[in-house]
Structure 1
Amino acid sequence: MNSETLRQLLLDSQLAWSLALIASVILVRYLLTHAFRKTSWPRQDIRRRVHMVHNFGNLIMVIGLFAIWVSELRNFALSIAAFSVAIVIALRDVVQCLVGGIYQAGMRSFTIGDWVKIGEQFGEVIDNNWLSTTLLEIDPHGLGNGYTGTTLYVPNSVFFSQPVKNLNFMRRYIEHTFSIVRENKGENPFAIKAFITQRVLEHCESFKDVAERYCKLIESRMGVDLAGTEPKIKITTSELGHDVVTITLFCPREDATDIEQKVTEDFYRFWYGPKATDTASSTLPAAGV
């Protein structure tokens, strides 16, 4: 048996072991993933476990293939020494993504299920591997869940050039601000301030205690002082001279739109509801005063 025949047999055995390793890893990964998705665990826990299985399976596959082909890789590396510079340049982006993934894992800036903002991209992290991070896009100006239905694949190399903001603490409760603009018809706009403040407090009464505890939790975890849970009413004027009432409140994200609509309804009922004219007129100063 000559050296060429021996080498061919060695390559055939390495190829067979490689295919067996890949098939085994894929089969085990599929079975574990299928088993996790059949459980009654919370959706985020299932995602985390599936994510761990995929990454661990990929790691085993890479280490196994490297162990099987180490002799061939050594010979291959020696044979391409003259082209090493070109290979480094060609794989620069891949290396940057790999190093970015290691950097993010070391920093632990986010995990599966967190809401993050990477540069201008805003979404929920649904997968994170060595090369890229997958986000389920969320409309930064939307309320409720705010999912747009778009999946974003962000290369890990952006962690070196773009800021990463973890917004997970603002996932349940947000500081929601909205404005109501109304043409001034001679009434004092401050006449509505006490009424609107009272109505906002009534709308927020059901979750007031939970909001205060959650606000304190955010302050404790992040080491910052928030503005608090009390609603804030500010009255200004627009460039056209219209009255602008700006309301800021700390509320559950999914309730923000509903509360905004209720407060807007209260606003217009105050000015245009029954006896609104008498109520507004009583706030004006008497003539000759």
Structure 2
Amino acid sequence: MLTPQSLGWLKGIDLTSNLVSSLLLFIGFVLLRVLVGRIFSRLMIENGEFKRKLYVYTKNSLSALFFVALVIIWAGKLESFALSLAAVAAAIAISFKEYFLCVLGGIYKYSSQLFRVGDRIEIRDLRGDVVDHDFLTTTLLEIGPGSKIHQFTGRTLVIPNSIFLSHPLINETAQTTIGIHSFEFPAFITDDLETIESHLMKAAIEASTPYMAAAEESYRRLARAEGIEEPNVKPRISKFFPEAHHVIFVVRFSAPVKRKGKVEQEIVSKFLKTIPKDAFDRDQ
């Protein structure tokens, strides 16, 4: 006959069994993570970006399986303690608010497919190439400084996923690896604007011509897939006047997303080599 003492003893055994199972599961998870890391470090794959994507996918899949297995182990206990957990849920939610927001941001990021490893993104003045991401954080190799410089700074940014819930994200490589880019060139109203514009256009054509055919094909596929009008990828110069006596030339050109900084510098270098010095008003 089962007595209250024997029932308590059986419950204790059941709880101990769950704890042991959870401990063994955690040890197995850690060992698998280490093993996967070593396997990928020795894996010979020429495409480094594909290798990184595969590693992140494998690592996140292991994490998801670990949490599912943990829930299965404790499912019975969680059901028993459901009412008790509800009593402290509010306190836990307040204490771990940022943690939960990061998890929600991670779920939103994965379900919406905001970006992948290797994409170049910008959010809240933070910009860089994605090298790792999970349910809590996203790791970037910083590009900059600022939005006008396209070089690696040497710094690594670790961003909490909660930021994706409250700020817009710019993915520079979301649709295509080659696209249309632009930069600004300042001048004075008294400069030889016609000469400046013609030399900027010539430099832009020379620098972007090798990429125009690929850009046209890329945007043609995008237009068909999304049902939008196909954009003109040829170089273009626009002008606007931010204030009196000042002119801004906006130089638009086609280039690979991750080479736009180099192409921009090539355009500027070609322009400076060919522009007559008297095109600029030295009195300004």
Picking from 229, 234, 237, the partner of 1:230 is 234
The alpha carbon displacement at 1:110 in A equals 2.1
Q: Distance in 2 between matches of 1:11 and 1:59?
A: 24
Q: Deviations over 1:189-213 (max 9, x none)?
A: 4245445533443333333323333
Q: Decide whether the 8 Å contact of 2:137 with 2:158 is kept in 1.
A: no
Query: Deviation digits for residues 254-279 of structure 1, max 9, x if unmatched?
Result: 32212222212212xx235xxx9xxx
CA-based RMSD: 3.5
Structure 1: runs of 5 or more not aligned: 277-289
Shift of the alpha carbon at 1:179? Answer: 1.0
Match of 2:268 among 260, 273, 286: 260
Counterpart of 1:281 in structure 2 is: none
Structure 1 residues 219 and 123: CA distance shift in structure 2, 3 A? farther
Q: 1:256 to 1:75 in 2, by over 3 A?
A: same
Corresponding residue number in structure 2 for 1:165: 170
Mapped to 1, the partners of 2:141 and 2:27 lie a distance apart of 30
Aligned to 1:128: 133
Q: Deviations over 1:124-165 (max 9, x none)?
A: 33333223333333235244444552313222x333322233
Q: Residue 112 of structure 2 aligns with which residue?
A: 107
| Distance change in 2, residues 1:248/1:137 (3 Å) | same
* Count of residue correspondences: 268
Q: In the alignment, does 2:29 pair up with 1:25?
A: yes
Output the amino acid matched with 2:210: S
Give the whole-Å Cα distance in 1 for the aligned partners of 2:85 and 2:246: 73
CA contact (8 A) 2:143 2:151 kept: yes
Deviations 1:36-58 (A, max 9, x none): 23223322222222222222222
- Is this contact kept in 1: 2:189–2:245, CA < 8 A? yes
Work out whether residues 203 and 267 of structure 2, in 8 Å CA contact, stay in contact via their aligned partners in 1.
Answer: no
Q: Which of residues 37, 41, 49 is equivalent to 1:44?
A: 49
Alignment of 1:60 onto 2:68: no
Distance 2:159 2:206 in 1: 43
- The question of whether the paired residues in 2 share the 8 Å contact of 1:127 and 1:133 is answered with yes
Alignment CA distance shift 1:152-1:171 (3 Å): farther
Q: What is aligned with 2:159?
A: 153
Cα 1:183–1:21, aligned 2, differ >3 Å: closer, same or farther?
same
d(CA) in 2 for partners of 1:120, 1:192? 32
Aligned counterparts of 1:174 and 1:147: Cα–Cα separation in 2: 24
- For 2:153 and 2:178, the matched residues in 1 are separated by 14
**Structure 1 stretch displaced more, 134-143 or 239-248:** 239-248
| Counterparts of 1:18 and 1:237, CA distance in 2 | 66
User: Between the two proteins, what is the percent identity of the paired residues?
Assistant: 25
SS in structure 1 of the partner of residue 27 of structure 2: helix
CA 1:162/1:202 → structure 2, altered by over 3 Å: closer, same or farther? closer
Q: Given that residues 143 and 150 in structure 2 are in contact (C-alpha distance below 8 angstroms), is that contact kept between their aligned partners in structure 1?
A: no
Instruction: Quote the residue 2:282 is aligned against.
Output: none
Secondary structure of the residue aligned to 2:88 is helix
Question: Which TM-score applies when normalising by structure 2?
Answer: 0.74
SS of match in other structure, 2:53: helix
Residue identity in the other structure for 2:268: E
1:286 corresponds in structure 2 to: none
State whether residues 143 and 257 of structure 1, in contact with CA within 8 Å, keep that contact through their aligned partners in structure 2.
no
SS at match of 1:255: helix
CA distance in 2, matches of 1:213, 1:10: 63
CA distance in 1, matches of 2:80, 2:40: 42
Residue 247 (1) aligns with residue 247 (2): no
How far residue 24 of structure 1 moved from its aligned partner, in angstroms, is: 1.3
Task: Answer with 57-66 or 138-147: which moved more.
Answer: 138-147
